[in-house]
């Protein structure tokens, strides 16, 4: 029977990834052990090396898969908003999706956005899937630009050249001022999730999720609102 071997190989490879994910959820990326996986599979430890070259390679596979799942979650959240022109609603949806994914898969989120494994340079294979969730956000900015919102956000001169690259990479035309607020919203989003998920808010705020809500609301306004800065009556100008 041709292909039997291939199917068996694919099956145990999938088993290994599955067990690895469970192990990571239980003990963190640190506690990922090939020997434990082998035990779980009823094999001797050296046997799993027939399927995965090293512990780092397994980690890389998990990273790629996690990026993919996160990207998928962001995409379905964005597509779930019927009124495509309501950028603020889409931003909220995507931001919440990313946070929800992080909260339900904390170890995988930590694998992606926590401390990088030292001496472990992300292989080229990971940068593709990594851009998936980012692309959702960039597309949001492009669609926002299409609605004709004008911003007087100052764009630091030094940033223009750097930001030009983003257009090239993603192939989406976005105004510089939009990119600035977009990048800022991205950073705030990830920062809020990190602070909450990694337990830095326990002594600051009663309900850790509060920070996230505030950040999303504020940057939602910043993205779609328009003007920021200056020009308040009590501003001592």
Which of 14, 44, 85, 205 binds DNA (CB under 7 A)? It is 44
Per CB under 8 A, does 2 bind its own copies? no
**Candidates 38-46, 68-76, 90-98, 181-189; binding stretch for its own copies (CB under 8 A):** 181-189
**Total residues binding DNA (CB under 7 A):** 25
Can you list the pairs that 162-167 forms with residues at least 24 positions away whose Cβ atoms lie under 8 Å? Answer: 166/138
**Closer to DNA by Cβ: residue 110 or 192:** 110
DSSP state at residue 179: H
Q: What is the rounded (10 degree) CA torsion for 156, 157, 158, 162?
A: 90
Least Cβ distance, residue 30 to DNA (angstroms): 10
Per CB under 7 A, does 123 bind DNA? no
**Candidates 38-46, 138-146, 187-195, 214-222; binding stretch for DNA (CB under 7 A):** 38-46
Per CB under 8 A, does 227 bind its own copies? yes
DSSP state at residue 236: -
Per CB under 7 A, does 45 bind DNA? yes
CA 220 to chain centre: 18
**Closer to DNA by Cβ: residue 10 or 217:** 10
Give dist(CA 97, CA 221) in Å, integer: 18
- Contact between 176 and 161 (Cβ < 8 Å): no
**Candidates 3-11, 95-103, 185-193, 209-217; binding stretch for DNA (CB under 7 A):** 3-11
Per CB under 8 A, does 157 bind its own copies? no
CA 235 to chain centre: 38
CA 45 vs CA 11, 31, 42, 230, 233: distances in Å: 18, 16, 9, 64, 71
Give dist(CA 170, CA 30) in Å, integer: 34
Per CB under 7 A, does 2 bind DNA? yes
Give dist(CA 35, CA 152) in Å, integer: 58
Which of 103, 113, 132, 143 binds its own copies (CB under 8 A)? It is 113
- Contact between 126 and 112 (Cβ < 8 Å): no
Per CB under 8 A, does 180 bind its own copies? yes
Name the one residue in this structure whose structure tokens are 């992606």: 112
**Closer to its own copies by Cβ: residue 91 or 186:** 186
Per-residue binder mask for its own copies (CB under 8 A), 80-109, x = binder? ---------------------------x--
**Closer to its own copies by Cβ: residue 19 or 166:** 166
Binding residues for DNA, rule: CB under 7 A, are 1-5, 8-9, 12, 32-36, 42-47, 49-51, 54-56
């Amino acid at each position: 029977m041709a292909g039997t071997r291939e199917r068996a190989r694919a099956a145990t490879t999938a088993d290994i990834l599955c067990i690895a994910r469970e192990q990571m959820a239980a003990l963190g990326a640190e506690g990922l052990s090939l020997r434990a996986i082998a035990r779980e599979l009823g094999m001797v430890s050296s046997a799993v090396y027939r399927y995965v070259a090293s512990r780092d390679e397994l980690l890389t596979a998990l990273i790629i898969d996690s990026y993919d799942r996160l990207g998928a979650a962001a995409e379905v959240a964005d597509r779930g908003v019927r009124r495509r022109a309501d950028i603020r609603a889409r931003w909220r949806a995507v931001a919440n999706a990313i946070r929800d994914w992080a909260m339900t898969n904390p170890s995988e989120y930590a694998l992606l956005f926590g401390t990088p494994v030292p001496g472990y340079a992300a292989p080229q294979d990971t940068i593709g899937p990594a851009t998936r969730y980012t692309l959702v956000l960039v597309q949001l900015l492009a669609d926002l630009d299409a609605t004709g919102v004008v911003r007087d956000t100052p764009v630091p001169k030094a940033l223009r050249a750097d930001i030009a690259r983003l257009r090239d990479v993603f192939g989406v035309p976005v105004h510089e001022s939009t990119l600035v607020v977009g990048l800022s919203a991205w950073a705030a989003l990830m920062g809020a999730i990190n602070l909450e998920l990694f337990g830095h808010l326990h002594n600051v705020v009663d309900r850790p999720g509060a920070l996230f809500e505030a950040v999303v609301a504020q940057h939602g306004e910043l993205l779609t609102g328009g003007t920021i800065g200056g020009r308040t009556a009590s501003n001592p100008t």
